[in-house]
Amino acid sequence: MMLSVTPQHFLILSFLLVGIGFLGLLIRRNVLLMLMSLELMLNGINVALLTFSRVGGNLDGGIFVFFIMTVAAAEVAVGLALLVALYKKRNSVLSDDMGLLKN
Amino acid sequence: MNAVDLLFWLFAVLSVGGGLFMVFSRHPVSAAMFMIVSLVGVAALFVLLESFFLAILQVLVYAGAVMVLFLFIIMLLDVGPEAGKRKLSHFKTGIFGILATFLLVGILLILGNSYDSLALDQSIWPELSESKDGGASQGLPFSTKVSSFGYGLMTKYMLPIQVSGFMLLAAMVGVIILSKKTPAREDVK
């Protein structure tokens, strides 16, 4: 493949994705959006893993991406079920309203 | 600057921009839509990295199943925009932005320090060699074929794939139990 973009481009892109996800995790208070930011971070890590896998000529990174996708899908399913259960109790999905231990 | 480079920049902007809009959009539904844009951009980057199987999985699992689940829950809970509520103070937002920047700078410093040992500076992409013996002699070679994925999963990663299968089962049972109505839980509160 004719590609004059270097692996560093892909790595910097993946770091940007992780950084954006981290920022979203910090500044959003809606737990749904925090979960989405987590997904974004996992995606960034997937890009980095796949880049290293491609550069190193080794499929292990690709297989790890596969496993990360599996774990992320399961995590989202359980997380959203927990969120629905929490919403039934608290009637809110904002992380501010979950300060049971605060006072 | 050839066509593939153009595609890289297009999808890089798509994925990063989608992520940024996702983080800063008011309404959860539009955030989910931007998230889909970002995920499809990442899938296209997987294609550029010649991992076609993972690109298909990314579209099917993330942009398909996971985001549909997110949208379903957003609409089920009828989550509106956060605008009416107390907003996060500018001070806190600034602090968090600085923290995220620190994370980025830290990762970039680590990359810079390990630059030589990573051996990335030749800026060439190694040619894919499709060996006849399925790569049994040299571990798992990078390959575009789905069959080499299956080979790796069924030989070297036999235990992890079984564990992840069991984890999916546990997640399924857990979700069913969580979403079941338990009359006993009512009198606890």
User: Do A17 and B16 lie within an 8 Å CB cutoff?
Assistant: yes
CATH of domain A9-91: 1.10.287.3510
pLDDT in tens, B75-120: 988 887 765 455 667 777 788 888 888 888 888 888 777 766 666 6
User: Do B35 and A40 lie within an 8 Å CB cutoff?
Assistant: yes
- For the beta carbon of residue B143, count every other beta carbon within 10 angstroms: 23
Between A67-76, A80-89, B153-162, B176-185, the lowest mean confidence (pLDDT) is in: B176-185
More confident residue, B89 or B17: B17
Half-sphere exposure of B13 (CA within 13 A, CB side): 5
Mean pLDDT score, B23-27 = 88
pLDDT at res. B189: 46
pLDDT in tens, A10-57: 888 998 999 899 888 888 888 899 999 999 999 999 999 999 888 878
- What part of B 25-54 touches A (C-beta under 8 Å)? 28, 31-32, 35, 38-39, 42, 45-46, 48-51, 54
DSSP helix/strand/coil, B141: strand
- What part of A 69-88 touches B (C-beta under 8 Å)? 69-78, 80-85, 87
Q: What mean pLDDT value characterizes chain A? A: 87
CA dihedral B27, B28, B30, B31 (to 10 degrees): 120
pLDDT in tens, A41-50: 999 999 999 9
Residue B79 vs residues A51, B29, B129: alpha-carbon distances, Å? 37, 9, 51
Q: What percent of chain A has pLDDT over 70?
A: 96
pLDDT at res. B135: 47
- For the beta carbon of residue B110, count every other beta carbon within 10 angstroms: 11
Q: Give the whole-angstrom CA distance, residue A34 versus residue A93.
A: 11
Q: Give the whole-angstrom CA distance, residue A68 versus residue A49.
A: 10
- What part of B 76-105 touches A (C-beta under 8 Å)? 76-77, 79, 82, 85-86, 88, 92-93, 96-97, 99-101, 103-104
pLDDT at res. A12: 86
ipTM of the complex: 0.90
**Out of A7, A59, A87, whose CB is closest to B120?**
A7
pLDDT at res. A97: 78
CATH of domain B1-82: 1.20.120.1200
How far away is chain A from the Cα of B120, in angstroms, using its nearest Cα? 7
What band does B186 get if pLDDT is binned at 50, 70 and 90?
A: low
**Out of B2, B70, B153, whose CB is closest to A36?**
B70
Domain with CATH 1.20.120.1200 in chain B: 1-82
